[in-house]
């Protein structure tokens, strides 16, 4: 089962995903995509680490998500990926300009074949104005394309607002 949880910043999407992982009764592997490039991000990462159960396996992977998923895949487990937005940022800022397209295609091809249950968390970026800068527009465009493609693959898609999930696809919570 693949679940996609979208929402704005501080919408409750990560908290919802983590609660769903806890409630699953499965062994959980948490894939963190953030990079601690500055003090503020280091503090955010530390806060998230404190919120997670110590029994979860945690893997940090800023670029090669599909390869990591392939290595970790096993039946009777849940893999929680938080978040695709930071992953997309990492890919777009990488010196290899083709990496984003290649890695997104690998992820989309691999997801349907995984034995693990997967929860993907990402920020919905298509609700605001069109950004003025080229890299910002590319980020919004590429994130939107990825979300649409993931939505087609996912068994369940949710949109989180003010801590409340709205089911867009699949059965109710």
Which residue range(s) make up the domain with 116?
2-169
Are β-strands 156-161 and 164-169 bridged in parallel, bridged antiparallel, or unpaired?
antiparallel
| pLDDT the model gives residue 10 | 86
pLDDT score recorded for residue 173: 54
10 is in an annotated binding site: yes
Which residues are within 8 A (CB) of 126 and not within 5 positions of it... i.e. 6 or more apart?
Answer: 140, 143, 144, 147
Number of domains observed in the structure of the chain: 1
Find all residues with CB under 8 Å of 75, minimum gap 6, and list them: 115, 116
CATH number, domain of 32, equals 3.40.50.300
* Residues with a known catalytic role: 48
Q: What is the pLDDT of residue 80?
A: 98
Tell me: is residue 14 an annotated ligand-binding position: yes
Give the phi and the psi of residue 25 in degrees, each rounded to 5: 75, 5
120 pairs with which residues across the strands? Answer: 4, 81
Is 172 labeled as ligand-binding?
no
- The tens place of each residue's pLDDT in the chain, 173 residues long, gives 999 999 998 899 999 999 999 999 999 999 999 887 788 888 887 777 778 888 999 999 999 999 999 999 999 999 999 999 999 999 999 999 999 999 999 999 999 999 999 999 999 988 877 888 999 999 999 999 999 999 999 999 999 999 999 999 998 65
pTM metric for this prediction: 0.93
């Amino acid at each position: 089962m693949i679940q996609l949880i979208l929402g704005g910043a501080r919408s409750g999407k990560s908290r919802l995903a983590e609660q769903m992982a806890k409630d699953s009764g499965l062994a959980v592997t948490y894939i963190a995509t953030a990079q601690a490039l500055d003090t503020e991000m280091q503090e955010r990462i530390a806060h998230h680490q404190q919120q997670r159960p110590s029994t979860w396996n945690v893997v940090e992977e800023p670029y090669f998500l599909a390869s990591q998923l392939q290595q970790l895949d096993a039946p009777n487990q849940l893999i929680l990926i938080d978040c695709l937005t930071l992953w997309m940022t990492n890919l777009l800022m990488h010196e290899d300009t083709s990496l984003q397209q290649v890695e997104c295609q690998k992820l989309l091809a691999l997801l349907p074949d995984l034995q693990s249950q997967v929860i993907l968390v990402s920020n919905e970026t298509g609700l605001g104005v069109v950004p003025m800068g080229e890299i910002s527009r590319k980020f919004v465009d590429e994130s939107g394309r990825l979300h649409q493609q993931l939505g087609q693959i996912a068994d369940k898609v949710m949109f989180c607002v003010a801590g409340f999930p709205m089911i867009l696809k699949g059965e109710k919570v």
